[in-house]
């Protein structure tokens, strides 16, 4: 039987980084004798033939539709949970994370911002406080409020956008560790630092350096992958005085940057994992 799969990408994807990821995976799967079609999200893509789909979009509707017919890497529920930082926080209950307060969803046009709620947020989390939109990536939707005025302004701007408030881990400002996991194990690890911004994302000007994952990082990463049932992910770890804290989990983490920094062939490792899951079990 011919082995064949799909790689589904976002309907609007244009950037080289986003287009490189599916090509590299296709190449590594071809090396294993698996024929892979790269398709853009849409009605025909959802009807395409394949034994499995590497789902590089975050469209939870498409993921559910496709999962009725084939094995998804990552699974639909994992993609959905990771795409929403508040859902991730809730799913990781009991695993070390910075203290977090959810925004309250607002469905009422012109409703005033509730000062008592902001009193609670500042009482629990202090200043500066991190504010994140639940959907965001590359540091683009993550903010820092240094005082009440900035907090009020952000709360007003995000009134109709689901978001969260999070304890700022000062020791980790501009510094975190990104680990890539495949099949529940850390396969690549880099420390990221940014001298000019508290966000250490490479896209926000952070610099990556290869580092060794220690036992505590590996254990934490294993726990996260098992809890969320992830085949592949990038986990951001903050470095707090009390140890590592899970900052966020990316089910669709780009691997181009970390491959360059660490020399690890992440695409090949992921392709091997998919092959084992699909054809060797
Ligand atoms: N609670 C926090 N304390 C200190 N720094 C943080 C905190 N949360 C996020 N950061 C910094 O901001 C960056 C982006 O936040 P993250 O939650 O990973 O969102 P994104 O999806 O945009 O990468 C992190 O890599 C980290 O450097
Ligand atoms: Mg991140």
pTM of the model: 0.97
Q: Spell out the alpha helix ranges (H) of 12-127.
A: 16-31, 43-47, 60-67, 76-82, 85-91, 115-125
Neighbours of 84 (CB within 10 A): 18
Residue 67: Cβ-neighbour burial (10 angstroms; 0-12, 13-18, 19+): middle
List every span in the chain annotated with CATH 3.30.470.20.
82-95+171-265
| Residue 141 CA, closest ligand 1 atom number | 22
CATH 3.30.470.20, applies to 82-95+171-265:
yes
* Antiparallel, parallel or unpaired: β 129-133 and 52-55: unpaired
Q: Is the CB of 238 under 6 A from ligand 1?
A: yes
Both structure tokens of 64 = 């559910």
Asked if residues 217 and 185 have their Cβ atoms less than 8 Å apart, the reply is: no
What is the residue-level pLDDT of the chain in tens, covering all 281 positions? 899 999 999 999 998 878 999 999 999 999 999 999 999 999 999 999 999 999 999 999 999 999 999 999 999 999 999 999 999 999 999 999 999 999 999 999 999 999 999 999 999 999 999 999 999 999 999 999 999 999 999 999 999 999 999 999 999 999 999 999 999 999 999 999 999 999 999 989 999 999 999 999 999 999 999 999 999 999 999 999 999 999 999 999 999 999 999 999 999 999 999 999 999 98
Residue ranges with strand state E in 146-224:
163-167, 175-182, 185-193, 207-210
From-to residues of CATH 3.40.50.1980 in the chain: 4-74
Q: How many CA atoms, within 13 angstroms, populate the side-chain half-sphere of residue 236?
A: 28
Torsions phi, psi of 105, nearest 5? Answer: -70, 140
Distance 133 CA to ligand 2 centre (A): 12
Residues paired with 11 in a beta bridge: none
Pair of tokens at residue 260: 């360059």
Domain 100-168, CATH homologous superfamily name and number: ATP-grasp fold, A domain (3.30.1490.20)
d(CA 141, CA 150): 15
Please state which CATH number belongs to domain 4-74.
3.40.50.1980
Q: Round to whole Å and give the CA distance between 178 and 187.
A: 11
pLDDT at 17 (0 to 100): 79
Beta-ladder partners of 143:
131
- Give the nearest ligand 1 atom to 172 CA: 4
Distance 250 CA to ligand 2 centre (A): 7
User: Which residues, other chains included, contact 209 with Cβ-Cβ below 8 Å and sequence gap of 6+?
Assistant: 190, 191, 192, 193, 261
Q: Given the structure tokens 């991190």, which residue do they identify?
A: 130
Q: Where in the chain is the domain with CATH 3.30.1490.20?
A: 100-168
Ligand 1 pocket, residue 163 CB under 6 Å: no
Tokens for 175, please give them: 């510094």
Whether 202 contacts 178, CB under 8 Å = no
Cβ atoms 213, 179 nearer than 8 A: yes
Task: Answer whether 176 contacts ligand 1 (Cβ < 6 A).
Answer: yes
Q: Using alpha carbons only, give the angle 111, 115, 121 rounded to the nearest 5 degrees.
A: 115
CB of residue 199 inside a 6 A radius of ligand 1:
yes
């Amino acid at each position: 039987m011919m082995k064949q799969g799909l790689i589904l990408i976002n309907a609007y994807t244009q950037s080289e980084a986003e287009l490189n990821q599916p090509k590299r995976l296709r190449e590594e799967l071809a090396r294993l004798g698996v024929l892979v079609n790269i398709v853009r999200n849409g009605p025909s893509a959802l009807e395409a033939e394949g034994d499995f789909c590497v789902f590089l979009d975050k469209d939870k509707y498409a993921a559910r539709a496709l999962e009725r017919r084939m094995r998804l890497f990552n699974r639909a529920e994992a993609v959905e949970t990771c795409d929403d930082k508040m859902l991730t926080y809730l799913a990781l209950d009991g695993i070390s994370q910075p203290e977090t307060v959810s925004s309250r969803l607002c469905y009422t046009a012109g409703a005033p911002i509730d000062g008592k709620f902001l009193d609670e947020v500042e009482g629990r989390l202090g200043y500066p406080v991190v504010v994140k939109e639940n959907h965001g990536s590359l540091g683009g939707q993550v903010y820092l409020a240094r005082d009440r005025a900035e907090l009020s302004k952000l709360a007003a701007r995000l009134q109709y956008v689901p978001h969260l408030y999070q304890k700022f881990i000062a020791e980790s400002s501009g510094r975190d560790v990104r680990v890539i996991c495949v099949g529940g194990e850390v396969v690549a690890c880099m420390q990221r630092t940014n001298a000019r911004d508290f966000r250490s994302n490479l896209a926000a000007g952070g610099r990556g350096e290869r580092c060794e994952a220690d036992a505590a990082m590996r254990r934490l990463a294993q726990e996260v992958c098992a809890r969320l049932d992830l085949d592949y992910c990038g986990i951001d770890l903050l470095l707090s005085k009390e140890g590592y804290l899970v900052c966020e989990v990316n089910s669709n983490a780009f691997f181009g940057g970390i491959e360059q920094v660490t020399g690890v062939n992440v695409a090949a490792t992921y392709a091997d994992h998919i092959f084992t899951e699909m054809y060797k079990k």
